[in-house]
Amino acid sequence: MTAAERADLGSARRIVVKVGSSSISGEASWRIDLIVDAIAAVRERGAELILVSSGAIATAIPFLDLGERPNDLASQQAAAAVGQNVLMWRYQNSLDRHSVLAGQILLTAGDLENPTPRSNARRAIERLLDLSVLPIVNENDTVATQEIRFGDNDRLAALVAQLVQADALVLLSDIASLYTRPPSEPGAEPLDVVSHDADLSGLEFGSAVVNSVGTGGAATKVSAARLAASAGIGVLVTSADLVADALSGAAVGTWFRPSPEGAAVGTLTEHPSDSAQ
């Protein structure tokens, strides 16, 4: 069922969950078990879940003695190649506790704009779900260029949610909800529900940021949430620490109501002319 309201997450049949680098890398890597436990609970109730996970570059930083996120593209690509291997090992090691197998899918946003790779990606994800495998999607940072620097996979997660016609998208961040302005500033108020046609021009979400481990920020999450909501997919933005509550439909985070007009026509629905190669 399409998650029209936040409480519907507890009974949604297909959910895309995205987690950012800062939530699962370095000293925060313990959250992988937390996220995996929540995913396992969703699967146990018979729902399907696709995980979009950042963190390849951030995971590699200590292994390569880089100190912080590299600035040059070649080093970012090399770090992604190393970190993706370790990141998937960590997920699989945690998933083994629930006897769940993971399948890795590496994409760029550009792949989802081209009919052939888009069609192939959708078929692969659908078959993994048929096989009860957990699809774990990440940006293909080893070959990405400009995409590597923006959004921390928020936009990619929105595109994947449209691709698989998900009932809901959950964007996990470092804060419990979005605010009307940066939460450190006076007068900042948490946002509870955002309608699909709400005017957000008077709010201050800030710009995308690049920190020691990843890229992203509130602005990229708002942009991704509105993209998915316009296609009829309800979106919840909340803290990774609240993932279990979020997936059960509890009243946490900021809920972006889906557009009723977009529910019937997803912008990335497979076209009959799409063919696998």
Residue owning tokens 């710009």: 207
Bridge partners for 254 per DSSP: 237
Is 199 marked as a binding-site residue?
Answer: no
Buried/exposed code over 201-220 (b: 16+ C-beta within 10 A; e: otherwise): eebebeebeeeebbbbbbbb
**How far is the C-alpha of 244 from the C-alpha of 199, rounded, in Å?**
30
| Distance between CA atoms of residues 130 and 17, nearest Å | 18
Whether residue 177 is annotated as binding a ligand: the answer is no
Q: Assess contact for 163 and 125: CB atoms under 8 A.
A: yes
Say if residue 94 carries a ligand binding annotation.
Answer: no
Collect all residues with Cβ–Cβ distance below 8 Å to 202 and sequence separation of at least 6. none
Residue 140 is assigned to a ligand binding site: no
- Is 141 assigned a ligand-binding role in the annotation? yes
Q: Is 174 annotated as a binding residue?
A: yes
Angle between the 73-95 and 31-44 helix axes, to the nearest 10 degrees?
50
Residues forming the annotated binding site? 18, 54, 141, 153, 173-174
Feature table: binding site for substrate = 54, 141, 153
Residue stretches of the annotated binding site for ATP: 18, 173-174
